[in-house]
Structures are given as structure tokens and as C-alpha cells.
């Protein structure tokens, strides 16, 4: 919960601040989406990319995808990067839970059905990829030739679906940035979900890390150094693709040589 001082700052920034200020203080809808996309765009610019892609896994009613379009429009004014957006969803709501790892005590088949045509009428640039992730992701790159992926929002609820979606990080290098900003929606929750490291999205993340040596999902610890923590800060992971040809490209900038003592 926000403290009164933080809330006052947010309210003031929301009225008087520019987009970057609003994003910094969480005074925009789904600030976590903006955070991932903004930082992906900044990194892409330093690495010399002209185009990047943002992905949402689990679109449901489409508010998140519409929000991604909003952030992309604002960010493209600040960073010279073209942003493509793709949303993956079954279109039919949640599939049947596979087993206990999908938390059937909280998620049920058919939740979050999509009105595909209504959503398409709301979108200005995002493209829907409809079908089961296990089927659509394998054909996605060949059929769409997307720009390198720089930001991903994982909102698939299930362990099984999240595990399938993480295979996007195994794509050819030309489709991926060396570091990808990721938001995992279903990793905190409440006393009802009781997310833990042995079920759901957290299990999918842990298994992915245990299975791969060349790619790891890591927590951006610098967020803990920024003072007051918004809850979504604890739902951000960075995919590090260590063998990417641009992973070691210097992006620090500036002269950091300290004066030599006499």
C-alpha cells in the first residue's frame, strides 16, 4: 500500500508531470508495462536497434494490450525506436488445468474469455496471435518476422502455459535482444493464491533457470535501491541471454576514471 507522501507525489505528477515523471512515480496505468517497454527501448537504442517487439502472453479482455499501445506511443516520442506489439491468447479463456501446478484451486477452465472482434476494433497497431501457446509460438517467428523482442508481459496464470511461453527465449538471436525486460503477473497474489516456488509461474521460472546455462531469468536488484517499493517491482525479471553477440557490448557511457592521487 502506498504511504500518504508517495500518494501525494503521484497525484501531483499525474497532473503536472511529463510521461517520464509519471512512469517514475507509477502515475500511469500499468506502470510495470511502461517500465519494461521504456527500459527495453533505451537499451535497444544504446545497442543500435531501430525496431523492437513487445509481447503480452495472456490478453483476455485486452486492456493490457491497449495499455501497451499507449506506452509504445509515448516512448517512441522519447526514444527513436519503432515498437511492434503482439498479444498471445487462446481466445477461449483459460484451458483446463493440467495438474496441481496450475493451481486449479484458484484458476478454472474458461476464465477470461476474449471477444476477439471487439478487441480488434480497439487496437491500433497490436497484432493478436490466437491459439494455444504450445501451437502458436512455434510458428510465430517464421510467420511474422518480428523485430527483436525487448519486453514481455507474462500473464498466463498457469505453470504449464508459462513454461510453454518461456520457450520464446530460445528463439534465434535475430529475434531477441540480449537482455529482455519481463513482467510476471502471477507471482505475488494474495492469501488465496498463495503463490510459491513449487507451483505456478514461479515454478516455471525456477525450472527454466535450472534447465539453461546460457539463458537465465534474474531479478533486477537495483530496484531495491530506489527507496519506496511498488509491489510490481517484485514481479520484474530480466532475461539474460549470455551467448548473444551483443550481450557484452558496452552501454555504460561516460568517463569513469577517478583522479589519480599524487
Report the CATH number at residue 94: 3.40.50.150
Residue 206: inside a domain, yes or no?
yes
Name which residue leads in pLDDT, 256 or 200.
200
Residue 248: inside a domain, yes or no?
no
Residue 154: inside a domain, yes or no?
yes
The alpha carbon dihedral of 10, 56, 108, 159 has a sign of negative
Residue 227: inside a domain, yes or no?
yes
Whether 91 contacts 130, CB under 8 Å: yes
Range of the domain at 71: 29-241
Task: Judge whether residue 14 has pLDDT over 70.
Answer: no
SS3 248: coil
Average pLDDT, integer, range 12-41: 85
Whether 208 contacts 154, CB under 8 Å: no
Residue 198: inside a domain, yes or no?
yes
pLDDT (tens digit per residue) in 176-205: 999 999 999 999 999 999 999 999 999 999
Residue 257: inside a domain, yes or no?
no
**Strands across the sheet containing 51-57:** 127-130, 82-89, 51-57, 149-154, 176-184, 236-241, 215-218
Query: Rounded distance, CA 153 to CA 241, Å?
Result: 17
* 203-222 per-residue burial string, b: 16 or more CB within 10 A, e: under 16: bbbeebeeeeeebbbeeeee
Average pLDDT, integer, range 70-83: 97
Residue 246: inside a domain, yes or no?
no
- Name the domain count of the chain: 1
Residue 56: inside a domain, yes or no?
yes
Amino acid at each position: 500500500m502506498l504511504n500518504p507522501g508517495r500518494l501525494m507525489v503521484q497525484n501531483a505528477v499525474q497532473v503536472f508531470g511529463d510521461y517520464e515523471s509519471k512512469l517514475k512515480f507509477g502515475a500511469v496505468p500499468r506502470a510495470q508495462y511502461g517500465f519494461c517497454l521504456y527500459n527495453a527501448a533505451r537499451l535497444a537504442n544504446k545497442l543500435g536497434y531501430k525496431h523492437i517487439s513487445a509481447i503480452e502472453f495472456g490478453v483476455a479482455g485486452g486492456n493490457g494490450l491497449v495499455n501497451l499501445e499507449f506506452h509504445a506511443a509515448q516512448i517512441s516520442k522519447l526514444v527513436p525506436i519503432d515498437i511492434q506489439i503482439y498479444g498471445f491468447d487462446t481466445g477461449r479463456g483459460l484451458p483446463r488445468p493440467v495438474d496441481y501446478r496450475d493451481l486449479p484451486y484458484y484458476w478454472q477452465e474458461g476464465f477470461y474469455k476474449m471477444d476477439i472482434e471487439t478487441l480488434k476494433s480497439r487496437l491500433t497497431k497490436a497484432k493478436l496471435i490466437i491459439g494455444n501457446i504450445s501451437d502458436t509460438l512455434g510458428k510465430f517467428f517464421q510467420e511474422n518476422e518480428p523485430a527483436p523482442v525487448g519486453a514481455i508481459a507474462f500473464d498466463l496464470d498457469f505453470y504449464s502455459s508459462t513454461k510453454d511461453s518461456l520457450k520464446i527465449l530460445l528463439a534465434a538471436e535475430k529475434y531477441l535482444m540480449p537482455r529482455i525486460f519481463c513482467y510476471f503477473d502471477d507471482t505475488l497474489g494474495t492469501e488465496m493464491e498463495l503463490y510459491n516456488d513449487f507451483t505456478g509461474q514461479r515454478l516455471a521460472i525456477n525450472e527454466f533457470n535450472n534447465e539453461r546455462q546460457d539463458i537465465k531469468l534474474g531479478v533486477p536488484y537495483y530496484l531495491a535501491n530506489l527507496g519506496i517499493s511498488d509491489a510490481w517491482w517484485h514481479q520484474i525479471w530480466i532475461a539474460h541471454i549470455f551467448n548473444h553477440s551483443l550481450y557484452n557490448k558496452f552501454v555504460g557511457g561516460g568517463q569513469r576514471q577517478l583522479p589519480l592521487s599524487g
